[in-house]
Structure 1
């Protein structure tokens, strides 16, 4: 239990060192064992003209959650090499939750996937997008 809390505290410090994440109010709620959960409260500034959470906000959450999941598996020196995202339905809710996990860790690349869920006031999750990414281990070939 203490190891999990220590890993989460480390991940939270890394997130707090990212000015853009601080601007958005993102928080890391789980981190370790090749997985990470990033959350962000939805506010009007994060919506597009039809009232849905902007796709760029979902992309930010996917990118960061994928990278944190990879870092939880192979260490902190990781960078996004690329990712794809598929939007499944308009994002509506109170909280955006990005839940990512490692699919395959490698020496130079880590493949991860992420579910992007909107959480309503009652705590019900609705899947609104999925992402898959390749994370480069810094210092490896091509990084």
Structure 2
């Protein structure tokens, strides 16, 4: 697993957008990943909630890492959907993705996004996606 952990962190560190937004790959498993993001004002929309695009980025990237780890290498998102459950108001976001099913050609993954506010985590969105090996 150590080689895949190093591989995952190298891939993550090579993502200009992840660096730009300030995200961190905090955990990886054989079929799972967690990405965290400290909330800053420039990540919010006009109602002071974290912008939906930020939540989508976290879900998509966490899903792709979970699926890629399960498939054993570089991966791409084939499709994904997200359900926003409540406004993301807080200090930090945690996106936790896990592979639910994998075959030779694809992995289906789910992600839960939690907002941290006053040391309490609250589920604010859920997502599901299909990941395929990068060719």
Question: Same fold per TM (> 0.5)?
Answer: yes
Partner-residue secondary structure (3-state), 2:49: coil
Q: 1:108 aligns with which of 102, 105, 108?
A: 105
1:125 lines up with 2:121 in the alignment: yes
Preserved contact between residue 71 and residue 106 of structure 2 (Cα < 8 Å)? no
Instruction: Quote the Cα distance in structure 2 between the aligned partners of 1:60 and 1:36.
Output: 14
Matches within 5 A, 1:1-143: 3=1, 7-122=4-119, 124-139=120-135
Partner-residue secondary structure (3-state), 1:51: coil
- Map Cα deviations across residues 119-139 of structure 1 (whole Å, 9 max, x no partner): 1242x1100000000011234
Gaps of 5+ in 2: none
Gaps of 5+ in 1: none
Once the two structures are TM-superposed, the CA of residue 10 in structure 1 deviates from its matched residue by: 2.9
Q: How many matched pairs?
A: 135
Once the two structures are TM-superposed, the CA of residue 84 in structure 1 deviates from its matched residue by: 0.4
Once the two structures are TM-superposed, the CA of residue 74 in structure 1 deviates from its matched residue by: 1.1
Once the two structures are TM-superposed, the CA of residue 44 in structure 1 deviates from its matched residue by: 0.3
Larger mean CA deviation between 127-136 and 67-76 belongs to: 67-76
TM-score (norm 2): 0.94
TM-score (norm 1): 0.89
Instruction: Quote the Cα distance in structure 1 between the aligned partners of 2:98 and 2:20.
Output: 25
